[in-house]
């Protein structure tokens, strides 16, 4: 089974999720998405697997969220995707992909549902 984690090593939930996967004997492909951000197609696919809209996957506590006024309800999905692609720190983390499904590791145990 191929498992991929979109990981930020500075994030405690991301580290905990990676550790949990390891405790299950899983060695995922690790994508440090701040260094290697997903492209538009990949991000759209992740959103589809999560059954989420872009606004649902945005980290609203990031300063760039406020600076870019991304809380404006008139912004449409493509504009929010553009912001996430330009500033990958806005993408919620960690995201685990496995078995054609995806989960956000908040809490980390939620990723066990797709393994």
Active-site annotation holds for 11: yes
Q: What would the mean pLDDT of 22-27 be, rounded to a whole number?
A: 97
What are the E-state strand segments in the chain? 3-7, 29-32, 95-98, 101-104
Q: What would the mean pLDDT of 17-24 be, rounded to a whole number?
A: 98
* Catalytic-role residue among 11, 64, 85, 89: 11
CATH assignment at residue 27 = 3.40.30.10
Compute CA distances 107 → 18, 34, 59, 78, 87, whole Å. Answer: 12, 21, 15, 28, 24
pLDDT tier at 100, thresholds 50, 70, 90: very high
Q: What is the pLDDT of residue 54?
A: 98
Number of domains in the chain: 1
3-state secondary structure of 103: strand
Q: What would the mean pLDDT of 41-59 be, rounded to a whole number?
A: 98
Distance CA 32, CA 75 (A): 28
Paired tokens of 97: 């992909």
Please report, rounded to a whole number, the percentage of residues in the chain having pLDDT higher than 70.
Answer: 100
Q: What is the pLDDT of residue 103?
A: 98
Paired tokens of 67: 């600076």
State the residue range of the domain holding 26.
3-114
Distance CA 52, CA 75 (A): 16
Please report, rounded to a whole number, the percentage of residues in the chain having pLDDT higher than 90.
Answer: 99
Distance CA 68, CA 52 (A): 21
pLDDT tier at 3, thresholds 50, 70, 90: very high
Q: 76-88: per-residue pLDDT in tens?
A: 999 999 999 999 9
Distance CA 72, CA 97 (A): 30
């Amino acid at each position: 089974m191929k498992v991929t984690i979109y990981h930020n090593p500075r994030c405690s939930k991301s580290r905990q999720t990676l550790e949990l996967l390891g405790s299950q004997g899983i060695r995922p492909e690790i994508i440090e998405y701040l260094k290697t951000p997903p492209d538009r197609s990949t991000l759209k696919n992740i959103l589809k697997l999560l059954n989420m809209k872009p606004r649902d996957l945005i980290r609203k506590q990031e300063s760039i969220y406020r600076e870019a006024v991304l809380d404006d309800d008139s912004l449409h999905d493509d504009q929010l995707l553009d912001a996430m692609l330009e500033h990958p720190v806005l993408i919620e983390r960690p995201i685990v992909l496995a078995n054609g499904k995806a989960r956000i590791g908040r809490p980390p145990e939620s990723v066990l549902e797709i393994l």
